[in-house]
Structure 1
Amino acid sequence: MYTAGTAFLEALYECGVRYLFANLGSDHPAIVESMEEGKVAGREIPTLITCPNEMVALSAAQGYAQVTGQAQAVLVHVECGTQALAGAVHNIAKGRVPVLIFAGASPFTQEGELRGSRNEFIQWIQDVHDQRGIVRGYTRYDNEIRTGRNVKQLVYRAMQFACSDPKGASYLTGAREVMEEEVPRVVLDTSQWQPISPCAIPDEGLDSLIEDLASARHPVVVTSFLGRNTNAVTELLKLVERLAIPVLESVPSYVNIPTNHPMYLGNQWNAPKQNAVLAEADLVLVIDSDVPWIPMVNRPSADARVYYIDVDPLKEQMPLWYIPSKRAFRADACTALKQINRRLEGVVIDETAVAERRSVIEARHRRRDEALRASEVEREVITSEYLTACVREFVDENTIVCNEGISNYDVIINHLGISTPGGMIASGGGSLGWNGGAAIGVKLACPEKTVVAMCGDGSYMFTVPSSVHWMARRYQTPFVQIVFNNGGWKSPKLSTLAVHPDGYASRADDIGVKFDQPSDYAGIASAAGGALGLTVSSPHEVRDALAQAFAAVRSGRCAVLDVKLAPL
């Protein structure tokens, strides 16, 4: 029997989907039956990954796509499973990561008119007015499969949307009767549904940008996620090395430039201070950044010429957003940088000015590096700087780090010092709990890599560790998870103090963010997935615990280090 469910699975595989991260329900009999039939028939279909929690499923698909660029698929149960995707939908949208989400829908017949008619009470209470509307604000495309005869075309179209800039999620639904429909097999050319080709800077805009770049005395590049395409990093290096342009990262979610590169001058998150390099710039080239600076506390001078390059320069999903710019271009970062580098080959440059600028920037880079190393000394309590410096001794070019350090995002970037493009990723969004599922997806995509997840204690709980570590053991995706445990949610406290520095909350012992009786984080992972669980309280224990953890992971077992930092 060849059904719409069979065609759906075939279409996924033809689009490059190798893993179907699934939380099955009463709406999926056709897909389950087709998967089992496919195994017997030797049909090429995606491998099912059972996910006890939907947010973990979507985070795993996100992690896989982030390191490969290849969208995977997530299968959830009607509107309940759609809602259980939780903040992972936000992360996919804001991080511009391609994925296809399929949810069943309640059957639309109830008296046995068609195979798949309602036969369970939940199929009445799970029938809602606008299931697709639950996620419409976060998806690139949504549709309902109404017949099995064009399932493949709809899957190809959904994947085309998901993989075209700005990338994101596509959401499809299909009722049981539709997915059970027997249909003729359709063979189509998937190349007719390729993602839209990357955009480039128009010639007249490129002329203006090149002229201003060549004449600038204090140019600077600001980026956040240019490094999602490692080829763009190569092109960025060509540009900044040729003209001696410093690079600042604002809320980075990828390795946009090796942190040991002499043109790298650091990253900024929510620190309430003006960046001196940004303030003195006469030209700012912003490439791939949603929030290049926070205007209330940190911005370029009013005289600076600002150029903005992004696949979504209008930020169409952000109601309040504007960066006053001389020019803004809808363009792919790698494509745009190649254009800039090619055009610069024929431009006369003031080499004396470039050499002087290079000397100043390299000196600033050295001073920054010296200050970072000085902050890594061992103290009476474990500091996040010391912990990260110790982790640095265990990572190499074969390591991928999933960074969800929240209030320690910048510490992890600064002190881990990842210099390999693709060697560190973050969710790109603002919903916590990504790192555990993402680590599973990364390991599935890159089984030869050592995967490390670094997170706060609050974000560790958001990962749903009972599901994460059960999955990691079952699917043999071991990773090291390091918990920066400061006994609560530090970020909400910092947010409150930033608005009310001398208010009542500043004098309160607990504003509702402390975990006074913390869970046994290491024990949860051990119980759920047989992970090596270690709790570390003294600086003297850190290196030995890390050695045990990395040894365990390289032998095929997850490891969780619950590291006690100075409490809130």
Structure 2
Amino acid sequence: MIVATQPVKATTAATAFLEALKRRGVDYLFGNAGTDFAAIIEAYATHPQPSALPRPITVPHENLAVAMAHGAYLATGNPQAVMVHVNVGTANAICGLINASREQVPLILCAGRNPITETGSLASRNAFIHWAQEMFDQGAMVREVVKWDYELRRADQTDLVVDRAISIATAHPRGPVYLTLPRETFGEPVSVEPARTSPQVAPPAPDENAINIAAKWLAEARRPLIVTGALGREARERQALAAFAGAHSIAVAAHRPRFMPLDIDNASFVGFEPGPLVEEADLIIVASCDVPWIPLHHSPGARTRVIHLAFDPNFSRYPVRGFQADLAIDGDVATAMRLIQAASHAEADVVEERIAWLDTKRTAFRTLRERAVADVELPSYAQVARCLADVSGEGDTILAETAFPTELLALDGGGGYFGAPSSGGLGWALGAALGIKLTAPERRVISLVGDGAYMFGNPTPAHFVSRANQLPTLTIIMNNSMWAAVRRATLSVYPDSETRLNRNAVFTYLEPSPEYEKIVEASGGYGERVEQAKDLPAALRRALHAVEQEGRQAVLNVLVA
């Protein structure tokens, strides 16, 4: 369909590229520049209408740039673009790109392509690096974690290529795409025709026969359970789940959730550990969840039926994934839940048994949440969670990139919680928080990270970006001076290992611990080290005052037991 009616005009491929991104809803271009950016920089400098281009955000590390685009998508639902420097910039972006791929984030990752020619063009090779940076197949670096990749070969292809990139990225299941942009091509003149865009691809409708089977199985189930992971980014998903679970008295558990699927006080919500529930349930509905339980520790009963609902419920980009699936329904999960809800009708005695089981599990979860925090000298994860719950309010956004007692937070299903990607590419939260704050400045954004994740987040570039763009956020570092996940993994395989008692186990401890709170001060932020539990509430108030009243970013370096 026609979306613009401007007359044909002469411009460069770089300008046409930027205009095409903006017309298709890309509001930001997060970039870390190199010698391949010449045409982009000139396009921004000479364009008569800057608002017709995506807003450029300088981000001095590519992993941070991708995380910011990831966060901007979480806040807005709109795809964003990142541009990096040829192969070396792409290499730095890959960790964040893997996160975006597994979390189905429609990201347009662009990279310059080393100049093709040695002579003959103003854009030909003119720097020492232009030989060593060329690759036979630059796209091969990322091909396994993107939906599509392409090298722009002609300037007059620019609008078409951008249109195709965004159409593919936003089609379900969504995901990143990769464009390489040769310096010569990007600087070439091009005549821009009235722009055309491909319509957004409509998602597949759930199969009617499969819906009827699911409805029949649900009608027979006395202990039904829904397990979510990535359900809940959109309000309509949360609303559909609340209505479905409420109408049929279904327990809902969220396993390492990236989004909060329901209010934590919702009568159907039973917590964040589905494993024991999986063993008891007689029907399990896996809703947008790549890992609903850990098979090494838990598995469904012999007579339990398992239904998977998702775009691509096989998660076909995962090489191995063998969870039981008696029925798999491809399509929009909110739609599938509404259809099953309307088609399923259980007998009174079945419903009564469901309600009793749900009440038991809900009571157990409530008891867990109300458990008193131990009075210890050092701050604990639980105490940090309690302190946050005391000061949290409507409009807060919390990002967690550490193993955190989420059940102790006062979370609602309003889109105010984002958990770390299931791929575990560390360094996500700092950038994602900035991307959210950039696109939703009214939100109070708080990141919870381990000391290792903070280092992976490129804190010096992150704090630079925060100051440069006036994006005050609060980062709380849960500093245990170690890779706790590495230690737990070692002990799970070797439970009698001396690592249990050995403080000097290799590759495990991060000592001596840096004074992380000093890093943010270099960018004008507020930093504080918290060593005693009794000091935590006041320190949190001071940090939030810096963010809210002074407009400064803040970091609390909390030494946890």
Instruction: Place the TM-score, normalised by the shorter chain, in its bin.
Output: over 0.9
Cα deviation code 1:335-358 (max 9, x no counterpart): 2122223334xx4x3234324432
Would you say 1:239 and 2:248 are equivalent positions?
Answer: no
Would you say 1:27 and 2:36 are equivalent positions?
Answer: yes
Aligned-partner SS, 2:272: strand
Deviates more, 1:421-430 or 1:443-452: 421-430
Cα deviation code 1:54-83 (max 9, x no counterpart): 100000000010121101100100001000
Would you say 1:323 and 2:339 are equivalent positions?
Answer: no
**Conservation of the 8 A alpha-carbon contact between 1:375 and 1:385:** no
Going from structure 1 to structure 2, the CA distance change for 1:499 and 1:375 (only over 3 Å counts) comes to farther
Aligned length, in residue pairs? 549
**Conservation of the 8 A alpha-carbon contact between 1:307 and 1:327:** yes
Would you say 1:517 and 2:484 are equivalent positions?
Answer: no
Deviates more, 1:355-364 or 1:42-51: 355-364
**Conservation of the 8 A alpha-carbon contact between 1:453 and 1:481:** yes
Match of 1:2 in 2: 11
Match of 2:536 in 1: 542
Would you say 1:107 and 2:104 are equivalent positions?
Answer: no
Aligned-partner SS, 1:418: coil
How far did 1:468 drift?
A: 0.3
How far did 1:309 drift?
A: 1.0
Match of 2:63 in 1: 55
In 1, Cα distance between equivalents of 2:390 and 2:69 = 29
In 1, Cα distance between equivalents of 2:519 and 2:101 = 30
Task: State the one-letter code of the partner of 1:519.
Answer: P
**Conservation of the 8 A alpha-carbon contact between 2:220 and 2:350:** no
How far did 1:230 drift?
A: 2.3
How far did 1:516 drift?
A: 2.1
Query: Of 477, 480, 489, which aligns to 2:474?
Result: 480
Task: State the one-letter code of the partner of 1:372.
Answer: R
Aligned-partner SS, 1:403: strand
In 2, Cα distance between equivalents of 1:559 and 1:509 = 31
Aligned-partner SS, 1:317: coil
In 1, Cα distance between equivalents of 2:91 and 2:163 = 25
Task: State the one-letter code of the partner of 2:400.
Answer: N
**Conservation of the 8 A alpha-carbon contact between 1:500 and 1:506:** no
Where do 1:121-270 residues align within 5 Å?
Answer: 121-190=128-197, 193-268=198-273
Task: State the one-letter code of the partner of 1:526.
Answer: E
How far did 1:43 drift?
A: 5.7
How far did 1:267 drift?
A: 1.0
Aligned-partner SS, 2:53: coil
Would you say 1:565 and 2:556 are equivalent positions?
Answer: no
Task: State the one-letter code of the partner of 1:351.
Answer: A
In 1, Cα distance between equivalents of 2:530 and 2:215 = 53
Query: Of 373, 379, 397, which aligns to 2:370?
Result: 373
Aligned-partner SS, 1:128: coil
Deviates more, 1:507-516 or 1:482-491: 507-516
Task: State the one-letter code of the partner of 1:10.
Answer: E
Going from structure 1 to structure 2, the CA distance change for 1:51 and 1:42 (only over 3 Å counts) comes to closer
Query: Of 452, 458, 462, which aligns to 1:464?
Result: 458
Kindly report the root-mean-square deviation, in angstroms, between the aligned alpha carbons of the 2 structures.
1.5
Aligned-partner SS, 1:183: strand
How far did 1:201 drift?
A: 1.8
Q: List alignment gaps of at least 5 residues for structure 2.
A: 1-9
In 1, Cα distance between equivalents of 2:267 and 2:276 = 17
**Off by >4 Å, runs of 4+ in structure 1:** none
Task: State the one-letter code of the partner of 2:475.
Answer: Q
Deviates more, 1:552-561 or 1:434-443: 552-561
Would you say 1:351 and 2:378 are equivalent positions?
Answer: no
Task: State the one-letter code of the partner of 2:15.
Answer: T
Match of 1:271 in 2: none
Where do 1:278-289 residues align within 5 Å?
Answer: 278-289=278-289
Query: Of 67, 73, 79, which aligns to 1:71?
Result: 79
**Conservation of the 8 A alpha-carbon contact between 1:244 and 1:355:** no
Query: Of 107, 111, 125, which aligns to 1:118?
Result: 125
Task: State the one-letter code of the partner of 1:308.
Answer: H
Task: State the one-letter code of the partner of 1:387.
Answer: V
Query: Of 87, 94, 98, which aligns to 1:90?
Result: 98
Query: Of 389, 397, 402, which aligns to 1:400?
Result: 397
Task: State the one-letter code of the partner of 1:520.
Answer: E
Match of 1:532 in 2: 526
How far did 1:167 drift?
A: 1.1
**Conservation of the 8 A alpha-carbon contact between 1:199 and 1:335:** no
Would you say 1:418 and 2:425 are equivalent positions?
Answer: no
In 1, Cα distance between equivalents of 2:216 and 2:55 = 52
Query: Of 424, 428, 431, which aligns to 1:430?
Result: 424
Cα deviation code 1:377-400 (max 9, x no counterpart): 432221111111101112112011
How far did 1:281 drift?
A: 1.0
Aligned-partner SS, 2:472: coil
Deviates more, 1:113-122 or 1:481-490: 113-122
Task: State the one-letter code of the partner of 1:104.
Answer: G
How far did 1:296 drift?
A: 1.3
Going from structure 1 to structure 2, the CA distance change for 1:297 and 1:44 (only over 3 Å counts) comes to same
Query: Of 380, 384, 405, which aligns to 2:381?
Result: 384
Task: State the one-letter code of the partner of 1:206.
Answer: I
Cα deviation code 1:196-227 (max 9, x no counterpart): 21222211111111011111111111110111
How far did 1:35 drift?
A: 0.9
Going from structure 1 to structure 2, the CA distance change for 1:42 and 1:97 (only over 3 Å counts) comes to closer
How far did 1:50 drift?
A: 0.4
**Conservation of the 8 A alpha-carbon contact between 1:221 and 1:284:** yes
Going from structure 1 to structure 2, the CA distance change for 1:106 and 1:485 (only over 3 Å counts) comes to same
**Conservation of the 8 A alpha-carbon contact between 2:224 and 2:354:** no
Going from structure 1 to structure 2, the CA distance change for 1:180 and 1:242 (only over 3 Å counts) comes to same
How far did 1:42 drift?
A: 4.9
Going from structure 1 to structure 2, the CA distance change for 1:43 and 1:242 (only over 3 Å counts) comes to closer
**Conservation of the 8 A alpha-carbon contact between 1:64 and 1:444:** yes
**Conservation of the 8 A alpha-carbon contact between 2:275 and 2:293:** no
Deviates more, 1:381-390 or 1:421-430: 421-430
Cα deviation code 1:440-474 (max 9, x no counterpart): 00001111110010111111111010000110011
Match of 1:293 in 2: 293
**Conservation of the 8 A alpha-carbon contact between 2:11 and 2:189:** yes
Aligned-partner SS, 1:27: helix
**Conservation of the 8 A alpha-carbon contact between 1:142 and 1:171:** yes
Task: State the one-letter code of the partner of 1:131.
Answer: Q
Match of 1:496 in 2: 490
Deviates more, 1:385-394 or 1:316-325: 316-325
In 2, Cα distance between equivalents of 1:32 and 1:83 = 22
